[in-house]
């Protein structure tokens, strides 16, 4: 699997290891949403350090996954978005609105542990 999902205490950590095809992104969506229930996780961290391109499909799928995780009662933090990926996303007009982000895995775990699940955003799009 290109995105191993590891249990770390009450959290799940999904690490993207290489470029993902659309099918693999959709598989990840199914796998994570199922694991949140099975592991009774309070949050999921997506580590995108190794992701070299975020296009509109990947961005939309990640937003969908975060929304589904929230509906399952857990939080999502996206970490490791590289500077050039962030630049390309802004140029393309892509946003991860209503999804929490942190610099790296360490910050993401700190962010998860720091405060209890608060609903991000105000109603959403």
Q: Which residues would be at the binding site for another protein (CB under 8 A)?
A: 19-23, 52-57, 59-60, 82-85, 87-88, 91-94
Tell me whether residue 7 or residue 57 sits nearer to another protein (CB atom). Answer: 57
Q: Which is nearer to another protein, 74 or 94 (CB)?
A: 94
- The CB-of-99 to another protein minimum distance in angstroms stands at 15
Least Å distance, CB 59 to another protein, is 7
Q: Rounded to an integer, what distance in angstroms lies between the CA atom of residue 77 and that of residue 84?
A: 19
Q: Which is nearer to another protein, 23 or 38 (CB)?
A: 23
CA 11/CA 109 separation, integer angstroms: 8
DSSP 38-65: HTT-SEEEEE-TT-----HHHHHHHHHH
Token pair 């799009």: residue:
125
Contacts of 70 (CB under 8 A, 6+ apart): 76, 119
**Closest CB 24 distance from another protein, rounded Å:** 9
Closer of 116 and 125 to another protein (Cβ): 125
């Amino acid at each position: 699997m290109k995105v191993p999902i590891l249990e770390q205490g009450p959290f799940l950590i999904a690490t993207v290891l290489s470029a993902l095809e659309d099918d693999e992104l959709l598989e990840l969506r199914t796998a994570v949403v199922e694991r949140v229930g099975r592991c009774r996780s309070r949050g999921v961290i997506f580590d995108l350090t190794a992701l070299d391109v975020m296009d509109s499909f990947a961005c939309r799928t990640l937003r969908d996954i975060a929304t589904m995780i929230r509906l399952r009662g857990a939080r999502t933090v996206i970490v490791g978005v590289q500077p050039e990926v962030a630049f390309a996303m802004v140029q393309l007009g892509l946003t991860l609105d209503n999804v929490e982000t942190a610099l790296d895995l360490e910050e993401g775990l700190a962010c998860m542990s720091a405060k209890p699940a608060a609903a991000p955003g105000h109603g959403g799009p």
